[in-house]
Amino acid sequence: MRNAPTILHLDMDAFYASAEQASKPSLRGKAVVVGGLGPRGVVATASYEARVFGVHSAMPMAQARRLAPNAAYLVPRGGFYKSISEQVMGLLHALSPLVEPLSMDEAFVDLEAGGAAWDETSARLAGIRLRADIRAVTGLTGSVGLAASKMLAKIASEQAKPDGLVVIEPGTERALLGPMPVRTLPGVGPATGDHLRRAGISTVDELAEAGEDELVRLLGKAHGHALYAMALARDERPVVAEREAKSVSVEDTYDVDIHDRGRVGTEVQRLADRCVRRLRGAGLSGRTIVLKVRRYDFSTLTRSETLRGPTDDPGVVREAAARLLDAVDTTGGVRLLGVGVTGLADFTQEDLFAQAAGELAAREAAAPDPVEEAEHESAEQRREEPPAERHWTTGHDVRHADFGHGWVQGSGLGRVTVRFETPQSEQPGRVRTFRTDDPALEPADPLPLVAPAPRRPDGPDEESPDRESPDQASSVPASLPKSWSGNGSGGATSRP
């Protein structure tokens, strides 16, 4: 393990919820919950105001509504969050070529590899600048942990939340880790934690005192060795710039169990096509097709079939998924379906059609594709039936010809309620209600959270007075941001 705390871990604060609050002035400082709003939806992110009521990620949405009935409940806007994530990742790549994203809002950075830091002082300054840059570019806040290893950097960023920075100085790791619960360490989930607790091990200190042999006996060779090393603050894992995808998959959870076998088959075919589109979008192909079925009683089955070579052909994936479904009993009803592809490669085997030829070819020649047939029937119904009510998704952006940009607060019974405001609005916007078929109301793209800086007509953009010049940034500033305050261990005062 290196001696300087030059591994940085960034974790954006309540990312989805914070992005929604920044986008919607009327929600700032209020409880916001983002996730699936259906009967079986789950919480993706809760704002810190919502967490006060006990709401947290992965909680069933119905439970969240009971805990915080007055919170704002919004449907995720994936494209919007991705655009912000790309801005943040761009700032990280400016620091170092070694950036390891863990998700849209979390990443490791090797500052030393990019020459951005080489000791505790320069690493701290890089972290301060990064947080300021993120706020300037996105309007959001992120918490930063700095340490000599990935494990410790992640622990430091957790201590820094929200909107803080913590540095773990070399030599202080064991004293810091000792009193922490074993669940703090990577790889210790609920089951492992309970197993260790039954053995009388609750803290990292107790884990180290138990010894390597005892941990191997309790947890097995690989897990026991790894956990003992982590208890001693040893973590040699490097920051890996490119994390290869191991699989590509899609799945849907249904608000009402599907009992009709034909409908189940149609859903599997639709998921197979979505999976292939995602596969092709990543420039990949795969050899193993996986079907996931969660039944009415929450039992989950997975079935897989390995082809002779990698493919990205929708016909081949659909046929394999259909064969896998034939072996699954769905009589009692299905609540979730998923289709995935593993064994990924960046090439395809062109003659894989031979695997699905013969009977498949004859069948396809005689009958239309089930997905296309369903779409055709749907189109026929649209021609015969009155137009369906326009659907407006809660939290998504709209634009009205007369009132401008806004977002959907709710809809139903032929009406849609819109609050008209933008990220730059100084006050919460006005609320108006329209018919769902109002021709003046249209879906809109999200607006940037930070307004572009005005350009000077006679030269480059005017530099913000809050930005440090390169000369100023070359040494530790005389005064640090209010969100950072030093402590005896060289870290920052963390917030709960």
Annotated catalytic residues are 106
What's the one-letter identity of residue 277?
Answer: R
Q: What CA–CA distance (Å, rounded) separates 315 from 357?
A: 10
Q: Which two tokens stand for residue 145?
A: 């942990």
Residues 6+ apart with CB under 8 A from 368: 376
* Contact in structure between 398 and 411 (CB atoms under 8 Å): no
Give me the long-range contacts of 276-284 (CB less than 8 A, separation at least 24). Answer: 276/312, 276/313, 276/314, 276/317, 276/341, 278/248, 278/250, 279/248, 279/312, 279/341, 280/312, 282/245, 282/248, 283/346, 284/245, 284/248, 284/312, 284/344, 284/345, 284/346
Rounded to whole angstroms, how far apart are CA atoms 230 and 1? 12
What is the rounded distance in angstroms from the CA atom of residue 120 to the CA atom of residue 138?
27
Write phi, then psi, for 405 (nearest 5 degrees). Answer: -85, 140
Strand 142-147 to 165-167 pairing? parallel
Q: List the beta strands (DSSP E) in 314-450.
A: 334-345, 397-400, 404-412, 415-420, 430-435, 441-443
Whether the Cβ atoms of residue 153 and residue 131 lie closer than 8 Å to each other: no
**What are the structure tokens assigned to 317, written together?**
């994936």
With 0-12 CB in 10 A as exposed, 13-18 as middle and 19+ as buried, what is 336? middle
Question: What φ, ψ does residue 106 adopt, rounded to 5°?
Answer: -150, 140
| Dist CA 16 CA 70 (whole Å) | 19
User: If DSSP states are collapsed to H, E and C, what string results for 246-315?
Assistant: CEEEEEEEEEEEECCHHHHHHHHHHHHHHHHHHHHHCCCEEEEEEEEEEECCCCEEEEEEEEEEEECCHH
- The three-state secondary structure class of 435 is strand
Measured CA to CA, the distance from residue 402 to residue 441 in angstroms comes to 9
- Tokens 């009967």 -> residue: 39
246: left (phi over 0), alpha (psi -120 to 50) or beta: alpha
Q: Are 140 and 475 in contact (CB under 8 A)?
A: no
Give CA–CA dist 340/349, Å, rounded: 18
Cα 118 from Cα 100, distance rounded (Å):
19
Q: Closest Cα partner for 107 from 132, 125, 80, 134?
A: 134
